[in-house]
Chain A
Amino acid sequence: MHFDVAYFVELLFSTKFLSAVWSVVWITIISMMIGVIIGTIGGIVLTSPLPWLHPFVRGYVAVYRGIPVLVQIVFWYNGLAAITGGAINLPAIAAGILALGVNEGAYMTEIVRSGITAVDRGQREASQALDMSYWAMMRKIVLPQAIRVAIPPTGNEVINVLKNTTLLFLIAVPEIFGTAVNIYSQNFKYFEVLCVVAIWYILIAGCYALIQAAIEKKFNRGRKTLFA
């Protein structure tokens, strides 16, 4: 076996990836925030008594789920500049974040919608019988329960965005995979470097899993687990 264990261990505990890891983390956070905001609005619109808005949201979801993320990234970076004749020329990081965020909004719309429709109809009826306004009902009764249902699939989406940041390598955004390519294009130790990359990603995802567990606990207020 040609695996340079000494090099692998040295690289694992070096600081070479730290700034890239930090970039990946905050790019993921901001993209997810954009995605969650768009998705919440989209999900609420799709479950609201405003049927004339539904086709717009459904169109958005169909388009952005249908186009590969890599293509969307290139559109935001190169395509937007090309169409507007250079008037809008986004820096790579901004293009990357917008691409990931707007793409994520399409998936989050469906997740939020499924969360809202999962809330028992009786909850709405009780709120209506108590003469709560639509917004009071959504804010205090429906959305808190919808969020609880939406948390695990949203966690999957966070991990997806995290891994999709590797695609930003193609528009030269400084992130983990790009850093790895720089290293192994010089020392040719492809496998050792990529193992370190894999471990960093697992670590970041693992930290997120802990955060998600805490969020789930908060939203399980008042519930008994299935096997109490």
Chain B
Amino acid sequence: MMSQLPAIQFDKVSKWYGSHQVLRSICLDIKKNEKIVICGPSGSGKSTLIRCVNWLERHEAGDISVNGVGLNRNTVNLVRRDIGMVFQSFNLFPHLTIEENCTVAPVSAGIPRGEARERADRYLKRVHIEGHARKFPSELSGGQQQRAAIARALCMEPKIMLFDEPTSALDPEMVQEVLDTMIGLAEVGMTMICVTHEIGFARRVADRAVFIDGGEIVEEGAPGDLFEAPRTRRLKDFLRHISKS
């Protein structure tokens, strides 16, 4: 029974920015170890949706639960422990070295410093930047910084990883190294939600793809079906725009 509990459950989730409704009664279940890719045009609500999962944005109607725990003001910290997030603009801490970026949160959470350093070492190796541990973020390339950000999130040993357009701010030649890192994560069984435009990555890794437009889920299904045989006009238009750029 426990294994059938969805990792993340959106139940009629809505949100408004002033009078503009950015999420319209979204219903979505994400199973444990599932990899979901969310795509859609800008302004569709896709970033807002995943940012609601860890309370960076607050949903105003409906319920969100993570591993069975309802998300509200009192459970935020509990929920955030199990979720790691990678941002489009990396958000590394510029005054700390890469290693310190990775250890600051575990140490704050009570993990002994020695163990925090071991974790940092392990995950920096996993993303292949262990040689840069003593450097500052400004000394790394964009792709290396984003991989460091992934390692930093992993050091809290989350059960779920959220990616908010992780490669959108990268030069094209650095996109693949980050995608490869994410593919590696997917292969070891992490639950992942990824907002991205990278269709190739979605095809390779995602169990399900979700197309959002105007705050609602327009289509969802296996990536192959969704991208090869779009049923709605909105998805067809979107795919045409993506392939042009």
Contact = CB atoms under 8 A, between A and B. Distances in A.
Contacts of B95: 144-145, 148, 219, 221-223
A62 interface: no
B83 A129 contact: yes
A120 B90 CA distance: 12
B27 interface: no
B105 interface: yes
B94 A130 contact: no
Nearest to B109: A131
26 contacts: A122-B87, A123-B93, A125-B56, A126-B85, A126-B87, A126-B92, A126-B93, A129-B84, A129-B87, A130-B80, A130-B84, A130-B104, A130-B153, A131-B77, A131-B105, A132-B104, A133-B108, A141-B104, A145-B94, A145-B95, A222-B94, A222-B97, A222-B136, A222-B137, A223-B95, A223-B136
B108 A136 contact: yes
A128 interface: yes
Interface of B: 54-56, 77, 80-81, 83-85, 87, 89, 91-97, 104-105, 108-109, 136-138, 149, 152-153, 156
A224 interface: yes
Contacts of A136: 108
A191 to B, nearest CB: 49
A130 B54 CA distance: 10
A140 interface: yes
B138 A224 contact: yes
Interface string A38-58: 000000000000000000000
A106 to B, nearest CB: 28
Contacts of B89: 122
A127 B105 CA distance: 8
A123 to B, nearest CB: 6
Given A129-B84, A130-B156, A222 B56 contact: no
Nearest to B84: A129
A131 B152 CA distance: 12
Contacts of A219: 95
Contacts of A144: 95
Contact of A130 (B97, B105, B136, B137): B105
Contacts of A221: 95, 136
Nearest to A131: B80
Nearest to B138: A224
A129 B92 CA distance: 12
Contacts of B94: 145, 222-223
A140 B108 contact: yes
A53 B81 CA distance: 30
A129 B81 contact: no
Contact of B56 (A123, A128, A223): A128
A102 to B, nearest CB: 31
B97 to A, nearest CB: 7
A71 B93 CA distance: 44
Contacts of A145: 94-95
A223 B96 CA distance: 10
A23 B87 CA distance: 53
A122 B85 CA distance: 12
Given A130-B105, A131-B77, A222-B136, 19 more contacts: A120-B91, A122-B89, A123-B91, A126-B87, A126-B91, A126-B149, A127-B105, A128-B56, A129-B83, A129-B85, A131-B80, A131-B109, A132-B104, A221-B136, A222-B96, A222-B138, A223-B94, A223-B95, A223-B136
Contacts of A141: 93, 104
Nearest to A222: B136
A217 to B, nearest CB: 13
